[in-house]
Chain A
Amino acid sequence: MAAALIGAVEAGLIFGVMALGVYLSFRVLNFPDLTVDGSFVTGAALASILVVYGVSPWTANLAAFVAGATAGLITGVLHAWGKINPLLSGILMMIALYSINLRIMGRPNIPLLHQRTMWTDLAPWTERLQTVVPGADHLIVLFVLGLMVLAMKLILDWFLKTEIGLAVRATGDSPRMVRSFSGDTRRFIVLGLAVSNAYVAFAGALMAQYGGFADIGMGIGMIVVGLASVIIGETLFRQTSLHRLTAAVIAGAVLYRIIIALALRARFLETGDVKLITALIVILALVLPEWRGGRKMTKAKPASRILRPLPSEGGEVGASPGGRLQDL
């Protein structure tokens, strides 16, 4: 049981990195980006094949990060310049990445059992530590993963506080405002999606080395896992400041894995049921607050946008005289 829980926390930390990426696209940019299902595998595939070819696993992680950024960039360009709807842009990229991922891997599955990975690199340390603290092998994995996730979180926090980061956030919040302050919202969407998918692919690379394989199907439903983590984190911790929200998202991912680990202990459930359970968690998280009359899980719209249809960009043509509310 304890081992299962430690395993769940470790996997949760890796999923935390991915959830940070999903948080950036879904919440910050307000862009439901489905590229994630593909870019997670891209990260895993590229890191695995590089490791197999003898490249340093740390370089492989970096390569996965860059590959994810490229995938996000293309999704962003499809939407911002190609004027394709956000959902469709992501789906198109996801499906294109399936073929690309297969090409990268050359086969549907790459085992990493006897390869040099991040973890084999850390083995000497683990052994030394184990002579002092028995059972430290799992602890060092936890420690290293924790440090990496913390670093990724701090980098994201920093990014979102820079002048460019502020513009990315405002693009998801009030695009008209950004354009009225010399901001090209298209660029900020592309940049945001690039960073988002870089995080997702990086998580994929970590997952491949942690799990000991890359598989063409390992990304299926990743977006829902990410969303589940974001929603669990937001709901349970109810934070509003940025650095606490990113922490909550990581905690949400860890909790998600723990919930799954516990659920799988039930005798009537099988490993294959994980995705069904994930979908149920998200559905419950979306529906329950509605029943309780609490905060809606979809991004809260300002009352003005719900109560009053915005005049179309075309000006006054469609504006109704009765639609004018006093003091919003």
Chain B
Amino acid sequence: MLRLVGVSKIYNAGTSDEKAALKGIDLDVREGELVTIIGSNGAGKSTLLNVIAGTITPDEGHIVLDGTDITDWPEHRRSRWIARVFQDPAAGTAPNMTIEENLALALARDGRRTFRRGVTDERRQAFRERVRQLGIGLENRLGVKVGALSGGERQALALLMATLCRPKLLLLDEHTAALDPKRAAWVSELTVGLIRELKLTALMVTHNMKQAIEMGDRLIMMDEGEVILTYEGEAKRSLTVERLLQSFERVRGSMLDTDRAVLA
């Protein structure tokens, strides 16, 4: 489904601040697979997601989605196929627009926008049904501005919007990190539910090791722009946080910087 071949990205090349964010990443994500990505701050997780989404152009390498080389495609063209939920609840929704207007915008993932009315009665009915699945009563507040919602509600809505038109690939960039633990757990549950229901292929960056171990079909750990550990199948099922930390030490010869990586 998604293939990365030798993808590299260097920030501030040629200066004293030079930093290799990605060092020749090769990654093959299968159809219907959920891959969780962990790593400490600066490991290159977000850069990886940004390179796939098209926010950042890689210096080297190719990105192939469903057989098409999309390396040179701008972000707005890739998003016909690639959906995204950001860490910042303000980024994935438009706060000064109503819930139904946000959903209408999300409906145009094919990039075809016309001078027809964005929110029609027919669409409103469909939105109501879809939003009802969240189970938080948003179906009765479709005309409310998104800015009036809580962070958790906004992330849930952003998730719903991202999957409103089934994308080929879903990118989740620490989308629960700005929420309190209870709401984060709820949004994670929603995420897993939606991915299963729509049989989505997804990449999820998280700081939460336990979550990364519990969720998904494959776990990859990044460090200094490289994929250093990969677990799937039986190896992933028997994985624990302690084992993961031990493996990191074995590979890297040092302790993982844990102030950013949440253990629990």
Contacts and interface: CB of A to CB of B under 8 A. Distances in A.
Most chain A CB atoms below 10 A, which of B77, B88, B113: B113
Given A314-B11, A324-B178, A328-B178, A163 B93 contact: no
A165 interface: yes
Contact of A316 (B43, B105, B180): B43
A313 interface: yes
Contact of B91 (A169, A176, A183, A325): A176
B3 interface: no
A302 B95 CA distance: 8
B53 interface: yes
Contacts of B83: 180
Interface string A300-328: 00101100001101111101010011111
Contacts of A167: 105, 108, 113
B114 A163 contact: yes
Contact of A166 (B80, B105, B151): B105
A185 B76 contact: yes
Nearest to A240: B145
Given A163-B113, A164-B114, A326-B179, A181 B90 contact: no
B260 A169 contact: no
Contact of A180 (B47, B84, B118): B84
B109 interface: yes
Interface in B73-116: 74-77, 79-80, 83-84, 86-97, 101-102, 104-106, 108-111, 113-116
Given A166-B105, A167-B108, A177 B11 contact: no
A166 B97 CA distance: 9
Given A302-B147, A316-B41, A180 B115 contact: no
B47 A316 contact: yes
A305 B90 contact: yes
Contacts of A271: none
B91 A174 contact: yes
Most chain A CB atoms below 10 A, which of B43, B76, B114, B117: B76
Nearest to A326: B180
Contacts of B88: 304, 310
Given A162-B114, A162-B115, A174-B90, A181 B180 contact: no
Contacts of B19: 317
A310 B111 CA distance: 27
A71 interface: no
A321 B86 CA distance: 17
Interface in B1-24: 11, 19, 21
Contacts of A165: 118
Contact of A181 (B42, B106, B118, B179): B106
A311 B84 CA distance: 16
A178 B145 contact: no
B180 A183 contact: no
Nearest to B81: A182
Contact of A164 (B43, B44, B53, B113): B113
Interface in A173-225: 173-174, 176-185
B56 interface: yes
A179 B111 CA distance: 10
Given A167-B113, A169-B96, A313-B50, A327 B178 contact: yes
**Which 9 residue pairs spanning A and B have beta carbons closest together?**
A182-B111, A173-B94, A315-B46, A315-B47, A163-B113, A327-B180, A166-B118, A170-B94, A174-B94
18 contacts: A161-B118, A163-B114, A163-B117, A164-B113, A169-B101, A176-B91, A178-B76, A179-B79, A180-B79, A180-B86, A302-B95, A304-B88, A304-B178, A313-B56, A315-B21, A315-B45, A315-B56, A326-B180
Interface of B: 11, 19, 21, 41-47, 50, 53, 55-56, 74-77, 79-80, 83-84, 86-97, 101-102, 104-106, 108-111, 113-119, 145, 147, 150-152, 161-162, 177-180, 183, 259-260
